[in-house]
Each structure stands twice: as structure tokens, then as C-alpha cells.
Structure 1
């Protein structure tokens, strides 16, 4: 297997460096901005390609590591080349392998691979990539080859249906990006109470760390505590009063409704009707 990488940003550079570190053959990089390809190639000690067809011809497997909005365009560009027998992969969390329209006619096989991993640093993320879980979907031949590759490197590989890819991506966003938004909302409220941002972080740190650790170790129904779980309508009403008219109120109500569902699972004999109407 010889892998050519199209796209030389954080994802492409991380993948190339990780594969080279594990002695997987990488032919090199192509990028619309040639200097970016040179940078990634120099870092991974591979080759920078000025011509897109050249990297396609030099590889039996192609990793399209472009941003989501460019993947279909890249596919359209390479679909006219000789692709018989090649494996084509992209790494978008939201797009499925359906983006490779008409791939059957080319003789290639395609799949999407999404690493549940934060590509935070172009030149350092590869050092921690071995911990990434990967979710795949697509044509059987491509999926099996990529599964064999990444399981051989020690990764846990999961599978999702193409039609569920966007829902899968939304789930990942809620657990990552949206948690940051929720945390910032808490910091803002503490700021309104007179806490500095640094003090707010220190105050919330044990709550956040202990809750995340507990959620990862046990079912959410076992972990849930607080006024919603206790059916404490008085406290919830007071919370809503002080948050009235703010974005924080909308967030509180929205998440509160989900907490009600979990609370009902934990305490099936508890009547949460009043709290449900309040939220």
C-alpha cells in the first residue's frame, strides 16, 4: 500500500506523519497551495507534488484530507484519471462516501473515515493519534482495507451507515464544541457574579473533571444529580427567574428537558410532571 495525501493542513499532515512514523508508505502530498504541500512533505520526509494527477498515479490509496467543502470538487477532479483498483478515502465527519459520485464506473472503491480526534496542532497531533477511535462507512473493499490498516496500528474501528453520518457528526459536535459553549456560559454567569475568569475556571474545574470522568465510566442515569434529578421545582424556578430573557435561559431549558428524561430513567416512580411544565 502506498498512500497519497491530497490536502496539507492539520489533518493531512497529522495522518502523513503518523503513517510514516509507523512505516506505512506515503508517496507524498498535493495541495492547491504548493508551498503547503512542500511544508508537509518536508516534515514527513516525503514528496511534494505540483500536479494532482502525479500524486494519483504514484499511489494505490488516496487520502483526501481537504476541508468538507472541497472534497466533492477534489473527487470531480480526479474521477477522470485512471483509478481502477485504487482506494479513495476522505476524513470528513459529516460527509458520507456518497460524495464519491459515480465511483463504481471508475473501478475504484471509496469510503469515509472519521477519527474522533482533535487535530489541534499541525506538527504535534500525530504524536497522540494512536489513541484515536475511527468510524468508517463505504464500499466493502475500501472499508476492509482501511480497517485492516488501522486495526493493525492498534486503533478501535467503528462503523456507521452512510445515511446516519450527519447525525453522528452532530453527536460529536455536542460532546466537543458545544461543551465549550456550555462551559463559557457558566463562566459568563460567574463573571456577572463578580468572579474573574481565572477564579471561575478554578471554581468549575473539579465539577467538570469529576462529571466527565463519571460520565465516561458509568451510565448517565447513575451519574445525574442536582435539582432536576431531585425534582426540586422551587430551585429550578428560581434559576429560570435569574436567567430570564438570556441565552443562558434557553440553554438551561433545553438541557433541562434532556435531564428530565434521564431523571425519569433513574427514578421511575418519581412524578416529574410539574417540573416538565416548568421547563
Structure 2
């Protein structure tokens, strides 16, 4: 049985708690957050605290807080030479105070508190300094049903950057599409099969090969019509930027 103390109460921490709670060989022995109110709803299921000095013994101290808070939080931990890991995709392993055994347990997925998550679809990127710590974190990931990957300090930030493009930026594009359909009285739901097929297609071919549309074929008349339809300057700028990027990629 691997004992965990969870630190933080955001989207990632909440989903990890729920996932570990259902794992047979993992026990969350304590949940810390600087505001106990954020985790009050779980007080009957797990020992909760807002006092950093009251942290109990555990095999892993798993930190799921904002990147800017990692260094200060690990500095304040009232012990040393224990395995302390963060869940960030971009923060350095060395942001963790050197008095600890340091590691990263990065679940590369989008997390929203109100949306259920199937952890079997979540890749876990692991980075450690010691081999024995990697094995512990690998077991944590496998206990959730995840596929685990050993990554290095250059690969993990690159994966996080790429994730921003495929998730955060893509979702903003969905938002713009939603605004366009709403403005013209069309149903956004009509686009959902296209969204699904676009995501499915890159499971089989590269994004380069999957590209279609007026920019790739340099359909100037259609591009001109689209730009005329857009009366929001911000949306127009995004359309032009994406169009030029596609043209450059495909030599148009």
C-alpha cells in the first residue's frame, strides 16, 4: 500500500483524489490545502488540514498547485528526505526544494471539476532523479489505469507547450465557432460530428496529411467570402493568421 498526502485543491488535485480513492493499493492518508473550505466536503472520507505543520507521514507528497506556488510550498514542508512531487507540465523538477527527493507526476489531460474523467485515457509523464522514485510513481500511474511515460527535462515542457496548442487554443477556436453560429442563428451542435471526426482522423494519419480546407487548396474566393462574413476584427485576425500558417505549411 502506497500512502499519499495530497496538497492542493484545484481541478487536478480533485480528480487525482477521486482516482486514488478507487485504487486498491493506494491510500490518500491526508489532504492539505491552505483553505480548508475548499476540501471541507471530503472531511468524512479523508483527513483534511490547512496547517502545514500537521502533515502526516506518507510515501509520496503529491503537490497539485499553481506553478508559482510550488517552490514556496516545498520550502515550507516541515520535513526533508521524503519523496515530494509536483503535477505541473512546465515547472522544473528543481522548483522543488533540494532537501526533498524530487519528482514530477504530470497527467497530460484537461481537467474540469464538474466533468467526469476516465483515467485510462490519461498519459502520465514521470520525471525523477532516483530510479526507486520512478518505480513508485509508475505504480501510482498504473493504479489509476494510466499509461506512464518516462520523460526528461526537455521533453516534458515541450509536451506541455504542444498540449496548449491542441487543447487550450483549439477550445478557443471552438468558442469562436460557437459565437459565429449563435450570431447567425445556426446550431453549434451541427459541427460536433466534424469536431469528433477531426480528432479521430489524427489517430490514423499525421496532422499534416489530415489538413483540408480553403487555405490548403488556396481557394481565394472562399477565403474572401469568409473574411467578409466576419465583422469581428479579432476573429478576422485569427482567421488570417491561421490561413497564412496553413498556406506556409503546404507551400501555397
Q: What TM-score do you get using the length of structure 1 for normalisation?
A: 0.77
Structure 2 residues not aligned, in runs of 5+:
none
Distance 1:157 1:262, change over 3 A: farther
Map 1:189-200 onto structure 2 (within 5 A). 189-192=180-183, 194-195=184-185, 199-200=186-187
SS of the residue corresponding to residue 162 of structure 1 reads coil
Q: Hey, what does 2:34 align to over in structure 1?
A: 32
Structure 1 residues not aligned, in runs of 5+:
265-271, 273-279
Structure 1 runs (4+) greater than 6 angstroms displaced: none
**Alignment partner for residue 92 of structure 1, among 43, 63, 88?**
88
Residue 13 in structure 1 maps to residue 14 in structure 2 = yes
1:113–1:136 Cα contact (<8 Å) kept: yes
**Alignment partner for residue 139 of structure 2, among 148, 154, 171?**
148
Residue 53 in structure 1 maps to residue 53 in structure 2 = yes
| Deviating more after overlay: 25-34 vs 235-244 | 235-244
Map 1:70-219 onto structure 2 (within 5 A). 70-78=69-77, 81-84=78-81, 86-101=82-97, 103=98, 106=99, 108-121=100-113, 125=116, 128-141=118-131, 142-192=133-183, 194-195=184-185, 199-219=186-206
Q: CA deviation at 1:241?
A: 4.7
Aligned residues: 249
SS of the residue corresponding to residue 82 of structure 1 reads coil
Distance 1:253 1:140, change over 3 A: farther
Larger-Rg structure: 1
Post-superposition CA distance 1:62-92 (Å, at most 9, x none): 01122223222211101xx3322x2111112
Q: What TM-score do you get using the length of structure 2 for normalisation?
A: 0.84
Post-superposition CA distance 1:209-244 (Å, at most 9, x none): 222221233222332222222232333344345447
Q: CA deviation at 1:175?
A: 1.5
Could you say which structure has the higher helix fraction? 1
Residue 233 in structure 1 maps to residue 220 in structure 2 = yes
Question: Partners in 2 of 1:51 and 1:28 — Cα distance?
Answer: 11
SS of the residue corresponding to residue 250 of structure 2 reads helix
2:23–2:143 Cα contact (<8 Å) kept: no
Q: CA deviation at 1:18?
A: 1.6
Question: Partners in 1 of 2:51 and 2:180 — Cα distance?
Answer: 53
1:96–1:163 Cα contact (<8 Å) kept: no
SS of the residue corresponding to residue 217 of structure 2 reads coil
Q: CA deviation at 1:115?
A: 1.1
